[in-house]
Amino acid sequence: MDVIIENIVIPYTLNDEDEKKLILREYRALLRLLKTNLKPGDKILLRRAFEMAADAHKTMRRKSGEPYILHPLAVAMICIEEIGLGVRSTICALLHDTVEDTDITLEDIQREFGAEIAKIVDGLTKISSVLDSNTSQQAENFKKILLTLTDDPRVILIKLADRLHNMRTMDSMKREKQLKISSETVYVYAPLAHRMGLYNIKTEMEDLSMKYMEPDTFKFIAKKLQDTKKERSKYINDFIKPIKEKLDKIGFDFEIYGRPKSIHSIWSKIKKKGVAFEEVYDLFAIRILVNAAAEKEKEECWKVYSIITDAYNPSPERLRDWLSNPKSNGYEALHTTVMGPQGKWVEVQIRTKRMNDIAEKGLAAHWKYKEGASEESRFDQWFHQIRESLASNDSDSLDFLQDFKSSFLTEEIYVYTPKGEVKMLPIGATALDFAFGVHTAVGSKCIGAKVNHKLVPISYKLKSGDQIEIITSAKQKPNTEWLNFVVTSKARTKIKDTLKEEKRTIADDGKYILQKKLEGIGAANSVTNMEELCQFYKIQSTLDLLYEIATKKIDLKELKEFTVHGDKLMAPKPVKLVPDEKFVYDPDYKPANKKDTELIIFGESSDKIMYTLAKCCNPIPGDDVFGFVTTGEGLKIHRTNCPNATRLMANHGHRIVKTKWAKNKEISFLTGLKIVGLDDVGVIHKITNLISGELRVNISAMTIEANDGIFKGNVKVFVHDKDELEKLVTALLALQGIESVDRYDIE
């Protein structure tokens, strides 16, 4: 039955009166947030969108059991409150799932709200068709979303809001679904939020992904942060006091406060630097916001920097000047790291209120401040590069996604042309990337470069501040090896295009050879026959087939085994091979030798299935793991924190299999430990005695290197499970002179 409260129709099949009131309360909160932006007629449009979405989703509930309409309402709230979007985006957010999940069509939306809103909703509508198992639906989906960027960047901003709300409400989902969505988020959506300037959203996405992918580590760091909160607050106040006094004395209009770093960034530091939680120096950052007139912004920020460095000694190599060279997503600030009280390094960020607005709200704030600006901002240039890349990109989805990540979602460096113009490039870019960035013709003829007046090869990796002059030759042309030297999408696309053109020329010879052979056996040179041959030779495309015929990789001698019906080719039936038992993935498989398969990974059907352990991360019982169905090697088991896990789950979520360990103490697993400590007499004897003697753990291999009083050892041991490994680590750390013990992945 429809519910009418204050003339608003909630056509919801709800039993609970409280739920109806909750929906209306959320809608009213939405209107309150938009109050200052509402123009005449906007309220009517918003109500129409809300009623249409509520009606469309009236029988639907989320996995948590709550009414589905609360999701689009929450996404709309994120768009307004956390991204700073307006009325039209709010309407799109309310309707974003209607076309995919309900009977509403794009035509209905266009009729009610016009072409602009219909186009954005179309961009937000996911691909529902069943795709080939070798294609990643996520990558296809993402490619489609990015293609709409050419028309309207709001699609991506609403999509980020949608993803953030899904991440916030994922507790009711199955474990494998949580892993898939978290991986996809940290692999693509968090970097995209970062590049859109939405730092808070990026941080929250990373933290939430870690909560599901590495729950134990997440809880450990969260607890440590909670336990040290009081002492951290005291330290921040002590640090701020002298700076605040000086700034007040000079008469600055400012805010100063400390904020904790995200759990994900603290974990990244711990892994990268190989230190304990207590040794991560920048658990928090001090932020100073200055209220300054537009023409005095830089000057005021540098004055504040001067006051800070008078009070505390700075680390020169940790100065980041994004005032002189803002990031392409519009981010401007001064970052410095100074030595605070008690010998602790502290990061200080200096921005104006305007810069902070752009740092918090990203693209939406950029649009607001852009009004009246005559010059094209770096954000606009970045968008222009993306549009250019999307327009010329016809690669498959996974290649596209990888190119996009390396070109547009990484951190940047800035370099100079011979005339002193600044160019932004992704980290890892080479002289060849720069050459293609100048012009396709320059890139294609590039034979080398001069960086800071010194001759370097085309593969030279550039650093911020480099000045580059490209050297060309009319005789030069791209080759396949060049693809290993470039990271930018533009360079990769142009090299591939050139190589494809050359391939086509060579393939023409193959076409002639094939035509003659087909005529000889009475078969037509038709598309159907070409496809039959591609399938037989396991080749992706006709172009590749003709190219391999021309280059003599395929000599067509198997053609005599084909049969011809009319003018159609029929491939010979393949001889059925018995698959290698080790790589069979069959839920009904019952192994004969119980001893070999005593350690079992359980699938959803709880039947015993064969598997292999991934060499990239060597999981052991007790590790948080997932199963991945490979194309050629059956089921492989990876740790959820494996270096390859994020990529596999983000690109091929449909191949993830839920897994758990069976209890078994008979089988041992090889794993590695890195031990660092003081080089003392008898230290090796103490370590080996503890491992082999006291704990009775088998050592497979051991290497020790000592230098300047410090030793570093790598020990490979056989353990039964994670508990046994943790017991070993604790015992080693208790030995005198041992500084750290860390598990490492054996290659």
Domain ranges of the chain: 3-217, 222-370, 497-570, 581-657, 669-744
Q: Give the pair of three-digit tokens for residue 513.
A: 């050879």
- Above 90 in pLDDT, residue 205? yes
Question: For residue 223, what are the CA distances in angstroms to 36, 207, 260, 262?
Answer: 41, 14, 13, 13
* 581 vs 516: which has the higher pLDDT: 516
pLDDT digits (tens, 9 = 90+) for 345-370: 889 999 998 888 888 777 666 666 65
Give the chain's end-to-end CA distance (angstroms, integer): 63
| Interstrand relation of 345-352 and 422-426 (parallel, antiparallel or unpaired) | unpaired
CB atoms within 10 A of CB 299: 11
Region of poorest pLDDT, from 35-39, 221-225, 254-258: 35-39
- Above 80 in pLDDT, residue 9? no
Shortest CA distance to 262 belongs to which of 192, 208, 186, 343? 208
CATH architecture assigned to 669-744:
2-Layer Sandwich (3.30)
pLDDT for residue 608: 53
- Kindly state the average pLDDT of the residues 124-150: 54
pLDDT for residue 402: 64
Shortest CA distance to 493 belongs to which of 433, 452, 548? 433
pLDDT digits (tens, 9 = 90+) for 624-641: 888 888 876 778 888 888
Beta strands in 358-483 (DSSP E): 412-416, 422-426, 446-451, 454-456, 468-472
Looking at residue 481, the DSSP 8-state letter turns out to be: G
Instruction: Kindly write down the DSSP assignment for every residue of 280-302, as one continuous string.
Output: -S-SEEEEEEE---GGGHHHHHH
CA-CA-CA-CA dihedral for 616, 621, 627, 629, to nearest 10: 60
Region of poorest pLDDT, from 338-352, 442-456, 639-653: 639-653
- Above 60 in pLDDT, residue 291? yes
For residue 328, with 0-12 CB atoms within 10 Å meaning exposed, 13-18 middle and 19 or more buried, which class applies?
Answer: buried
Residue 179 CA, distance from chain mean position: 13
Query: What is 222-370's CATH superfamily?
Result: Beta Polymerase, domain 2 (3.30.460.10)
Do 317 and 253 form a contact (C-beta atoms < 8 A)? no
CA distance linking residue 707 with residue 435, whole number of Å: 44
- Above 70 in pLDDT, residue 585? no
- Kindly state the average pLDDT of the residues 532-553: 84
Query: Which of 391-395, 536-540, 660-664 has maximum average pLDDT?
Result: 536-540
Region of poorest pLDDT, from 103-112, 234-243, 329-338, 550-559: 550-559
Question: What is the pLDDT of the chain when averaged over all its residues?
Answer: 80
Rg (CA), the chain: 30
Q: How sure is the predictor about 394, in pLDDT bands with cuts at 50, 70 and 90? A: low
Q: Give the pair of three-digit tokens for residue 372.
A: 């009246």
pLDDT for residue 302: 94
- Above 70 in pLDDT, residue 311? yes
Helices and strands of the chain, counted as H and E runs: 28, 25
pLDDT for residue 401: 65
CA distance linking residue 375 with residue 295, whole number of Å: 16
Question: For residue 148, what are the CA distances in angstroms to 55, 93, 120, 129?
Answer: 27, 16, 8, 19
3-217 CATH choice from 1.10.8.640, 3.40.630.30, 3.30.9.10, 1.10.3210.10: 1.10.3210.10
Question: How would you classify residue 665: left for phi > 0, otherwise alpha for psi between -120 and 50, otherwise beta?
Answer: alpha
- Above 60 in pLDDT, residue 395? no
pLDDT for residue 593: 39
- Above 50 in pLDDT, residue 581? no
Do 390 and 149 form a contact (C-beta atoms < 8 A)? yes
Task: Indicate which residues carry an active-site annotation.
Answer: 100-101
pLDDT for residue 596: 36
Question: Helices marked H in 316-377 — which ranges?
Answer: 353-361, 363-370
Beta strands in 358-515 (DSSP E): 412-416, 422-426, 446-451, 454-456, 468-472
- Kindly state the average pLDDT of the residues 485-503: 85
- Kindly state the average pLDDT of the residues 510-527: 84
Sheet holding 468-472, edge to edge: 454-456, 446-451, 468-472
Q: Give the pair of three-digit tokens for residue 625.
A: 């793991």
Looking at residue 462, the DSSP 8-state letter turns out to be: P
For residue 6, with 0-12 CB atoms within 10 Å meaning exposed, 13-18 middle and 19 or more buried, which class applies?
Answer: exposed
Q: Give the pair of three-digit tokens for residue 157.
A: 């901003």
- Kindly state the average pLDDT of the residues 565-579: 63
Region of poorest pLDDT, from 91-105, 137-151, 668-682: 137-151
CB neighbour list of residue 206: distance below 8 Å, 6 or more residues apart: 186, 190, 262, 264, 265
Question: For residue 452, what are the CA distances in angstroms to 415, 464, 469, 485?
Answer: 11, 12, 8, 20
Do 161 and 120 form a contact (C-beta atoms < 8 A)? no
CA distance linking residue 729 with residue 723, whole number of Å: 10
- Above 90 in pLDDT, residue 126? no
Q: What are phi and psi of 337, to 5 degrees?
A: -120, 125
CA distance linking residue 38 with residue 594, whole number of Å: 70
- Above 50 in pLDDT, residue 374? no
pLDDT for residue 600: 44
Do 163 and 192 form a contact (C-beta atoms < 8 A)? no
For residue 615, with 0-12 CB atoms within 10 Å meaning exposed, 13-18 middle and 19 or more buried, which class applies?
Answer: exposed
Amino acid at 170: M
Do 650 and 138 form a contact (C-beta atoms < 8 A)? yes
pLDDT for residue 351: 93
